[in-house]
Structure 1
């Protein structure tokens, strides 16, 4: 799992995996898969089993991906 560890408590700028799932309209399992694949960075709260995701990382995931012109279409 692509996790970092933090000593800090989870402030409101961090979301639980369930909150991320609800915001994105996907399942908790899908969020966990995103974290495991490195699509969505997550942070484990040191000394606990809590996993949190920065709101800014969720917002970045929602940004459209620019499409570039690949040249001539056949």
Structure 2
């Protein structure tokens, strides 16, 4: 009889964090990544702040690089 070492259990959230990110994401995925609402992402697409690509009639995809560029870090305010 062989003894196997138990594999460490990881939660679904940890597994999701360890998964490589795709190049293109949906509006809902973009909203989750940036911690904003899907409506905010759609507004940014409409005003041209975030470039998006339409795949078919309803599918909209956003490049992660473009998404990150649209939400750049602001410098710290010196009060």
Q: Aligning the two structures, in what range does the TM-score lie when normalised by the shorter sequence? A: 0.5 to 0.7
Alignment gaps of 5+ in structure 1:
1-11, 67-74
| Runs of 4+, deviation exceeding 6 Å | none
Tell me the distance in 2 between the aligned counterparts of 1:62 and 1:34: 10
Q: Which residue number in structure 1 is paired with residue 25 of structure 2?
A: 15
Could you tell me the TM-score, scaled by structure 2's length?
0.60
User: Is 1:33 equivalent to 2:33 in the alignment?
Assistant: no
Q: Which residue number in structure 1 is paired with residue 11 of structure 2?
A: none
Q: Which residue number in structure 2 is paired with residue 48 of structure 1?
A: 57
The RMSD of aligned alpha carbons is: 1.6
Alignment gaps of 5+ in structure 2:
1-21
Question: Greater share of strand residues, 1 or 2?
Answer: 1
Question: Greater share of helix residues, 1 or 2?
Answer: 2
Whose radius of gyration is greater, 1 or 2?
2
Could you tell me the TM-score, scaled by structure 1's length?
0.64
